[in-house]
Amino acid sequence: MAIIGFVNQKGGVGKSTSCYHLAYWLHQQGKKVLLVDADAQTTCNTWVQQSDTGIASKVIQVGDELMEQLGGLAKEYEYVLVDGPGGLSEATKAILLCADLAVVPCTTGLADIVSAAQTVRVIKMAQKYREGAPQAVMFLSRGFKGTRITREARRLLEDYEEVTVLRNMIFNRQLILDTWGQGATVWNLEGSGQSDAIKEYENLFKEIMEKLGHDQQTKKVVSRPAHSKHIAEAVRR
């Protein structure tokens, strides 16, 4: 069992997208997964409800309730994935006090990289309190291939000693931005760059599993069309 928290002070950096895609990937591996939505926007929970994946989800947004429930939920599921809120609220701190692994997505924007320092500071506080836990990793969630800005962003992230910058990153693609509105993932939304996006996510998630020590053999997730409600249409209703 493992609790994986996706956290960042900054919103709009790919926390929910990364969290949902990891939940889907693990679910397709045959793992028993619970996705806990701690964000006021409930993006991940809405995503689950509008899809037919069978992934379990639960909304818990209060810090004390996260502290009380996450440990028990981890005994019922192989993986509990927590989509943290934007900002460094009590909910974020509670996630870090319970998680086995903290995952910090970050874009290449300088403001986002500078903002990540505050997230790293809170992670460091949790690690000091818990005598080392949680492990913490960062990755670039919207890189641009072959660009100086992406290389520079990675170099700046590597200055944060308390977290490991993952080798793999996700490159900026319209296909990925479209997944939430379609209630889909890169595995079941056809479009330009689909095969590359799938490969990027699979490599990223395998690396995350290695950090947890869960680097067992994984199976290839079959790409198939989504059979889900169009979230944008559902919201308008």
Domain at 63, CATH number:
3.40.50.300
Per residue in 161-177, pLDDT tens? 889 999 999 999 999 99
Mean pLDDT value across the chain:
92
Amino acid, res. 60: I
The span from the CA of 140 to the CA of 165, in Å, is 8
**What is the chain's alpha carbon radius of gyration, rounded to the nearest angstrom?**
17
184-204, pLDDT tens digit by residue?
Answer: 999 999 999 999 999 999 999
Using 50, 70 and 90 to split pLDDT, how confident is the model at 225? low
Q: Which region among 114-118, 136-140, 187-191 has the lowest average model confidence (pLDDT)?
A: 114-118
Separation CA 16–CA 78 (nearest Å): 20
Q: What is the pLDDT of residue 228?
A: 54
- Residue 222 exposure: Cα atoms within 13 Å on the Cβ side: 3
17 near 183, Cβ under 8 Å? no
User: Please, which pLDDT band fits residue 217 given cuts at 50, 70 and 90?
Assistant: low
Element (H, E) at 84: strand 79-86
**In terms of residue numbers, what domain contains 211?**
2-236
Both tokens of residue 50?
A: 């509008």
The rounded distance, in Å, linking the Cα atoms of 19 and 44 is 8
- Per the structure, the count of domains in the chain is 1
pTM for the structure as a whole: 0.92
pLDDT in tens, 16-57: 999 999 999 999 999 999 999 999 999 999 999 998 899 999
CB 87 within 8 A of CB 123: no
Nearest to 164 by CA among 207, 218, 108: 207
